[in-house]
């Protein structure tokens, strides 16, 4: 497993337990995918503090968490409905509720969640699950003021 993150402090006002639930679910899915492919592989977690894409204010910031694996890619027929109730990508037992619940949690925090197949240049398969959560306005304003003073 690899972890990469932006070295600056990342503080988000969020329900710690629920966000941990989202991360735990995405990690569990990544490890299941690697196990099912029978070849092993790496799970990578990337955490970034980015300017929001398409937000009302060009300077709005968000935390973006991506969890990628080197397991099997997601069937293109399932991808559009992946975050719906009872949809599962794995042949192993599961309720098909994990991604649906994760989506509900992320959206309750004002964020977005999505999945895509790995398109790495080294030919490795796998999937990437990403979610973003906006920084709170207070955090954002303090950071902007600090940047302007420097």
Number of domains in the chain: 1
Average pLDDT of span 106-132: 88
pLDDT tens string 14-58: 999 999 999 999 999 999 888 887 788 899 999 988 887 765 565
The larger pLDDT score, comparing residue 3 to residue 44, is at 44
Question: Which CATH number goes with the domain that contains 22?
Answer: 3.30.565.10
**Distance separating alpha carbons of residues 21 and 61, to the nearest angstrom:** 23
Give this prediction's pTM. 0.81
For the beta sheet containing 127-134, the strands, ordered from the edge strand earlier in sequence to the opposite edge, are 2-5, 43-51, 61-69, 127-134, 112-117
In 3D, which of 4, 55, 139 has the Cα closest to residue 147?
A: 139
Of the listed ranges 35-39, 69-73, 146-150, the one predicted with least confidence? 146-150
User: Would you call 150 helix, strand, or coil by DSSP?
Assistant: coil
Q: What is the pLDDT of residue 119?
A: 73
The whole domain housing 27 covers 2-149
Q: What is the pLDDT of residue 2?
A: 84
Mean pLDDT value across the chain: 83
pLDDT tens string 131-147: 999 987 654 455 555 55
């Amino acid at each position: 497993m690899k972890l990469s993150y932006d070295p600056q402090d990342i503080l988000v006002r969020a329900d710690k337990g629920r966000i941990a639930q989202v991360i735990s679910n995405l990690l569990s899915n990544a490890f299941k995918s690697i196990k099912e492919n029978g070849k092993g592989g790496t799970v990578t977690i990337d955490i970034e503090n980015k300017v929001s894409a398409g937000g009302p204010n060009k300077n709005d910031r968000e935390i973006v968490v991506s969890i990628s694996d080197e397991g099997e890619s997601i069937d293109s027929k399932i991808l559009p409905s992946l975050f719906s109730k009872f949809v599962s990508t794995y042949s192993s037992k599961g309720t098909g509720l994990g991604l649906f619940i994760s989506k509900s949690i992320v959206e309750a925090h004002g964020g977005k969640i999505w999945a895509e197949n790995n398109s790495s240049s080294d030919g490795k398969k796998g999937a990437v699950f990403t979610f973003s959560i906006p920084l709170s306005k207070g955090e954002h304003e303090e950071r902007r003021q600090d940047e302007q003073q420097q």
